[in-house]
């Protein structure tokens, strides 16, 4: 295997384990993880298409993982990995101040909900980088 294939295989396993934990913890149902990332910049970030449970063969979720927190969003209204990256980044920017202060967010939970200024700063910095990538057409050659 090439270094890229090894890195992607490790991220795919990470995504699978993360989704299994999320399913056990929150009862969310996920379909199959794609064989290859829908988009990635090795060794920093990968976005994975997750099959819908209701509509087999269709993307139901997007998962991001790499050198950043692993997270997921529903595909609803997010037709491609670029849109998913933007949505996750915006969500993280919205959540970071709550995390910094230890305040509950009305819609999002990342971590255990206790104040975590270090994680809040990580979310903000990664979110800004993700938004830069989402805005950069050269990063998305397949579109």
Give the pLDDT of the chain (143 residues) as one tens digit per residue: 999 999 999 999 999 999 999 999 888 899 999 999 999 999 999 999 999 999 898 999 999 999 998 999 999 999 999 999 999 999 999 988 888 777 777 777 776 667 778 888 988 999 999 999 999 999 997 76
Burial-class residue 41 by CB neighbours within 10 Å (0-12, 13-18, 19+). Answer: middle
* In contact, 51 and 59? CB cutoff 8 Å: yes
Whether the model pTM is above 0.85: yes
Check residue 26 and give its pLDDT.
Answer: 85
Cα dihedral 31, 109, 118, 102, rounded to 10, equals: -170
Residue located via tokens 């037709």 = 79
- Rounded distance between C-alpha atoms, residue 23 and residue 139, angstroms: 32
Check residue 87 and give its pLDDT.
Answer: 97
Check residue 6 and give its pLDDT.
Answer: 97
- Token pair, residue 99, equals 């995390």
Check residue 112 and give its pLDDT.
Answer: 64
* In contact, 98 and 41? CB cutoff 8 Å: no
């Amino acid at each position: 295997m090439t270094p890229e294939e090894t890195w992607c295989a490790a991220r795919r396993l990470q995504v699978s384990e993360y989704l299994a934990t999320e399913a056990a913890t929150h009862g969310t149902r996920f379909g199959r993880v794609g064989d290859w990332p829908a988009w990635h910049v090795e060794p920093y970030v990968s976005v994975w298409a997750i099959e819908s449970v209701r509509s087999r063969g269709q993307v139901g979720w997007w998962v991001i993982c790499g050198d950043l927190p692993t997270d997921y969003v529903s595909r609803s209204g997010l037709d491609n990995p670029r849109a998913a990256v933007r949505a996750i980044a915006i969500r993280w920017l919205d959540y970071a101040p709550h995390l910094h202060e230890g305040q509950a967010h009305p819609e999002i939970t990342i971590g255990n909900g206790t104040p975590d200024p270090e994680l809040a700063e990580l979310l903000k910095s990664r979110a800004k980088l993700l938004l830069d990538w989402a805005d950069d057409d050269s990063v998305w050659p397949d579109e």
